[in-house]
Structure 1
Amino acid sequence: MTEHLTTLGIQIVPKSKNLDTYQLVDAAIEVISRSGITYQITPFETVMEGPYPQLMEIAEQAQKAVLDAGADECLVYYRIHYRKDADVTFAEKRLDR
Protein backbone atom coordinates (compact mmCIF):
# COMPACT_ATOMS: atom_id res chain seq x y z
CA MET A 1 0.00 0.00 0.00
CA THR A 2 1.14 3.55 0.64
CA GLU A 3 2.97 5.28 3.46
CA HIS A 4 1.23 8.57 2.63
CA LEU A 5 -1.62 9.89 4.73
CA THR A 6 -4.80 7.94 4.10
CA THR A 7 -8.38 8.39 5.23
CA LEU A 8 -10.21 5.35 6.54
CA GLY A 9 -13.87 5.29 7.51
CA ILE A 10 -14.82 2.44 9.83
CA GLN A 11 -18.27 1.41 10.92
CA ILE A 12 -18.40 -1.30 13.57
CA VAL A 13 -21.85 -2.73 14.21
CA PRO A 14 -21.76 -4.84 17.37
CA LYS A 15 -24.30 -7.55 17.98
CA SER A 16 -25.22 -8.57 21.50
CA LYS A 17 -28.28 -10.11 23.06
CA ASN A 18 -27.69 -8.41 26.42
CA LEU A 19 -25.53 -5.30 26.04
CA ASP A 20 -26.24 -1.78 24.82
CA THR A 21 -24.99 -1.20 21.27
CA TYR A 22 -23.79 2.33 22.01
CA GLN A 23 -21.66 1.16 24.95
CA LEU A 24 -20.01 -1.40 22.72
CA VAL A 25 -19.34 1.18 19.99
CA ASP A 26 -17.86 3.47 22.66
CA ALA A 27 -15.23 0.79 23.36
CA ALA A 28 -14.06 1.08 19.74
CA ILE A 29 -14.10 4.88 19.82
CA GLU A 30 -11.98 4.83 22.98
CA VAL A 31 -9.28 2.85 21.16
CA ILE A 32 -9.33 5.33 18.27
CA SER A 33 -9.26 8.31 20.63
CA ARG A 34 -6.28 6.96 22.60
CA SER A 35 -4.31 6.29 19.41
CA GLY A 36 -3.48 9.98 18.95
CA ILE A 37 -4.39 10.06 15.26
CA THR A 38 -6.73 12.63 13.73
CA TYR A 39 -10.32 11.35 13.63
CA GLN A 40 -13.91 12.51 13.28
CA ILE A 41 -17.00 10.76 14.59
CA THR A 42 -20.05 10.93 12.34
CA PRO A 43 -23.52 9.40 12.83
CA PHE A 44 -22.64 6.35 10.74
CA GLU A 45 -18.88 5.86 11.00
CA THR A 46 -15.65 7.14 12.47
CA VAL A 47 -13.17 8.50 9.95
CA MET A 48 -9.44 8.45 10.69
CA GLU A 49 -6.48 10.11 8.98
CA GLY A 50 -2.97 8.66 9.10
CA PRO A 51 -0.55 6.20 7.51
CA TYR A 52 -2.37 3.19 6.09
CA PRO A 53 -0.57 0.54 8.20
CA GLN A 54 -1.26 2.45 11.42
CA LEU A 55 -4.94 2.93 10.57
CA MET A 56 -5.39 -0.76 9.87
CA GLU A 57 -3.74 -1.63 13.20
CA ILE A 58 -6.04 0.78 15.06
CA ALA A 59 -9.08 -0.63 13.22
CA GLU A 60 -8.14 -4.16 14.30
CA GLN A 61 -7.67 -3.03 17.91
CA ALA A 62 -11.06 -1.25 17.82
CA GLN A 63 -12.79 -4.42 16.63
CA LYS A 64 -11.10 -6.45 19.36
CA ALA A 65 -12.18 -3.89 21.96
CA VAL A 66 -15.82 -4.34 20.95
CA LEU A 67 -15.57 -8.10 21.38
CA ASP A 68 -13.66 -7.70 24.66
CA ALA A 69 -16.44 -5.38 25.88
CA GLY A 70 -18.90 -8.23 25.47
CA ALA A 71 -20.24 -8.21 21.92
CA ASP A 72 -21.18 -11.63 20.61
CA GLU A 73 -20.12 -10.64 17.10
CA CYS A 74 -19.62 -7.53 15.00
CA LEU A 75 -20.03 -6.42 11.44
CA VAL A 76 -17.26 -4.13 10.18
CA TYR A 77 -17.39 -1.87 7.14
CA TYR A 78 -14.38 0.04 5.79
CA ARG A 79 -14.08 2.88 3.30
CA ILE A 80 -10.51 3.79 2.39
CA HIS A 81 -9.17 6.64 0.27
CA TYR A 82 -5.47 6.65 -0.59
CA ARG A 83 -3.11 7.79 -3.32
CA LYS A 84 0.09 6.10 -4.35
CA ASP A 85 2.16 9.30 -4.49
CA ALA A 86 0.41 11.88 -2.27
CA ASP A 87 -1.45 12.36 0.98
CA VAL A 88 -5.23 12.24 1.38
CA THR A 89 -6.31 14.57 4.17
CA PHE A 90 -9.38 15.83 5.98
CA ALA A 91 -8.49 19.37 4.93
CA GLU A 92 -9.15 18.64 1.27
CA LYS A 93 -12.54 17.14 2.14
CA ARG A 94 -13.87 20.08 4.15
CA LEU A 95 -17.61 20.39 3.94
CA ASP A 96 -17.73 24.15 4.55
CA ARG A 97 -16.24 25.26 1.22
Structure 2
Amino acid sequence: MHNFLVNASIQLLPLTTDRHPYEWVDEAIDIIRLSGIRHDIGPFATVLEGTYAEVMKVIGDVNEHLCNRGCPEWITSLQIQIRSAGDMTADEKTDKYR
Protein backbone atom coordinates (compact mmCIF):
# COMPACT_ATOMS: atom_id res chain seq x y z
CA MET A 1 0.00 0.00 0.00
CA HIS A 2 1.14 3.57 -0.64
CA ASN A 3 2.27 6.05 2.02
CA PHE A 4 -0.41 8.68 1.46
CA LEU A 5 -2.75 9.61 4.29
CA VAL A 6 -5.98 7.68 4.66
CA ASN A 7 -9.01 8.18 6.91
CA ALA A 8 -10.60 5.48 8.96
CA SER A 9 -13.31 5.37 11.55
CA ILE A 10 -13.29 2.77 14.27
CA GLN A 11 -16.33 1.99 16.36
CA LEU A 12 -16.08 -0.47 19.21
CA LEU A 13 -19.07 -2.34 20.60
CA PRO A 14 -18.16 -4.47 23.64
CA LEU A 15 -20.63 -7.35 24.07
CA THR A 16 -20.09 -7.93 27.73
CA THR A 17 -21.69 -7.74 31.14
CA ASP A 18 -18.48 -8.05 33.17
CA ARG A 19 -18.24 -4.26 33.40
CA HIS A 20 -19.77 -1.22 31.73
CA PRO A 21 -18.98 -1.22 27.99
CA TYR A 22 -17.70 2.38 28.18
CA GLU A 23 -14.81 1.16 30.36
CA TRP A 24 -13.61 -1.06 27.50
CA VAL A 25 -14.10 1.81 25.04
CA ASP A 26 -12.06 4.09 27.33
CA GLU A 27 -9.19 1.61 27.23
CA ALA A 28 -9.38 1.49 23.43
CA ILE A 29 -9.26 5.28 23.27
CA ASP A 30 -6.17 5.23 25.50
CA ILE A 31 -4.45 2.93 22.99
CA ILE A 32 -5.35 5.32 20.17
CA ARG A 33 -4.12 8.36 22.12
CA LEU A 34 -0.84 6.69 23.02
CA SER A 35 -0.23 5.76 19.37
CA GLY A 36 0.41 9.38 18.46
CA ILE A 37 -1.71 9.06 15.32
CA ARG A 38 -4.00 11.96 14.47
CA HIS A 39 -7.49 11.20 15.75
CA ASP A 40 -10.83 12.78 16.52
CA ILE A 41 -12.98 11.14 19.18
CA GLY A 42 -16.72 11.30 18.49
CA PRO A 43 -19.75 10.01 20.34
CA PHE A 44 -20.17 7.00 18.04
CA ALA A 45 -16.75 6.45 16.49
CA THR A 46 -13.20 7.72 16.44
CA VAL A 47 -11.68 8.95 13.19
CA LEU A 48 -8.03 8.10 12.57
CA GLU A 49 -5.72 9.72 10.04
CA GLY A 50 -2.34 8.38 8.99
CA THR A 51 -0.78 6.10 6.45
CA TYR A 52 -2.59 2.86 5.78
CA ALA A 53 0.07 0.96 7.75
CA GLU A 54 -0.16 3.34 10.73
CA VAL A 55 -3.96 3.22 10.81
CA MET A 56 -4.11 -0.56 10.53
CA LYS A 57 -1.47 -0.94 13.26
CA VAL A 58 -3.55 1.15 15.68
CA ILE A 59 -6.69 -0.84 14.85
CA GLY A 60 -4.75 -4.06 15.43
CA ASP A 61 -3.32 -2.70 18.69
CA VAL A 62 -6.81 -1.87 19.97
CA ASN A 63 -8.09 -5.38 19.22
CA GLU A 64 -4.95 -7.00 20.67
CA HIS A 65 -5.28 -4.92 23.85
CA LEU A 66 -8.90 -5.95 24.36
CA CYS A 67 -8.00 -9.59 23.84
CA ASN A 68 -5.04 -9.43 26.23
CA ARG A 69 -7.10 -7.63 28.89
CA GLY A 70 -9.81 -10.30 28.75
CA CYS A 71 -12.69 -8.49 27.11
CA PRO A 72 -15.07 -11.41 26.52
CA GLU A 73 -16.41 -10.30 23.13
CA TRP A 74 -16.65 -7.19 20.97
CA ILE A 75 -17.46 -5.92 17.50
CA THR A 76 -15.02 -3.59 15.76
CA SER A 77 -16.65 -1.68 12.92
CA LEU A 78 -14.36 0.05 10.43
CA GLN A 79 -14.67 2.42 7.53
CA ILE A 80 -11.55 3.30 5.55
CA GLN A 81 -11.30 5.87 2.78
CA ILE A 82 -8.26 5.60 0.53
CA ARG A 83 -7.21 7.73 -2.41
CA SER A 84 -4.74 6.00 -4.71
CA ALA A 85 -2.94 9.12 -5.92
CA GLY A 86 -2.70 11.33 -2.85
CA ASP A 87 -3.68 12.12 0.72
CA MET A 88 -7.24 11.75 1.98
CA THR A 89 -7.67 14.01 5.00
CA ALA A 90 -10.55 14.54 7.37
CA ASP A 91 -10.16 18.32 7.04
CA GLU A 92 -10.70 18.08 3.30
CA LYS A 93 -14.08 16.51 3.95
CA THR A 94 -15.23 18.68 6.85
CA ASP A 95 -13.62 22.14 6.57
CA LYS A 96 -16.55 23.51 4.59
CA TYR A 97 -18.78 22.93 7.61
CA ARG A 98 -16.61 24.81 10.10
Tell me whether the two structures share a fold, i.e. TM-score over 0.5.
yes
Q: Could you say if the C-alpha distance between residues 19 and 68 of structure 1 is closer, same or farther in structure 2, counting changes exceeding 3 Å? A: farther
Shift of 1:66: 2.2
Contact 2:9 2:45 in 1 (8 A): yes
Q: Which runs of structure 1 show a deviation greater than 3 angstroms over 4 or more consecutive aligned residues? A: none
**Residue 8 (structure 1) aligns with:** 8
Contact kept in structure 2, 1:6 and 1:87, CA below 8 Å? yes
Give per-residue Cα distances to partners, 1:6-42, cap 9 Å, x unaligned. 0010111112221110000111100100111110011
Paired position in structure 2 for 1:67: 67
Matches within 5 A, 1:1-97: 1-94=1-94, 96-97=97-98
Alignment check: 8 A CA contact 2:7 2:88 kept: yes
2:37 touches 2:54 (CA, 8 Å); kept in 1? no
Q: Any stretches of 5+ residues in structure 1 without a counterpart?
A: none
Q: Deviations over 1:22-81 (max 9, x none)?
A: 000111100100111110011111110000011101101111222333310111111001
**Identity rate, percent:** 33
Structure that is richer in helix per residue: 2
Mapped partners of 1:76, 1:47: distance in 2: 13
Contact 1:16 1:70 in 2 (8 A): no
Distance in 2 of aligned mates of 1:62 and 1:72: 14
- Aligned residue type for 1:43: P
TM-score where L is the length of structure 2: 0.90
